[in-house]
Structure 1
Amino acid sequence: RDALTQPVRVLLPDGTTQSVRAYTAWWLRDHPVLDGRRPAGLRSAGGDPLLAGLYDAVDATGFDDAQVLRALGVRTSVAALL
């Protein structure tokens, strides 16, 4: 779970650090890993009904953790899009 949800600190060329999205979450959100589809273009079947016409639903059984779904790019609410 932490490999998906916790930001990673990277060292920049000027010696400063910056928090960025975890590589694992970045990779998974752009590859077809949920029902053969990319998570970033899907919405949680139990998510906000306002997303119904915008994104295809995915059965997220076993992925009931909203933070993990968000890290994967699955849309869970309109507020999360903003």
Structure 2
Amino acid sequence: MERQTAVSVVLITVGVVIIVLAAFFAFSEFVTLSSSSKTTSDLNASVSWLVYALSQVLFLAVAVWGGSVLLAKGLEVLR
């Protein structure tokens, strides 16, 4: 029973750390993108920025999903 408790604590900790790091990364990206001035009307630059933003959102979504899966598995093992 001690091994299961240790595994669940590790899974819960890793899941929470991943979710917190993803939230911190999202906030720092938001601050960076909102503070930069984009006054160009170049279509190529706009598409490039959109692809970059979408890739960051996808990365954050996968990180939060992975963290929540680890958190759920840890709670399931603990139960």
Query: Normalized against structure 2, the TM-score is what?
Result: 0.26
- Higher helix share goes to which structure? 2
- Higher strand share goes to which structure? 1
Structure with the bigger RCO (C-alpha within 8 Å, sep 6+) is 2
Query: Normalized against structure 1, the TM-score is what?
Result: 0.26
The structure having more radius of gyration, on CA atoms, is: 2
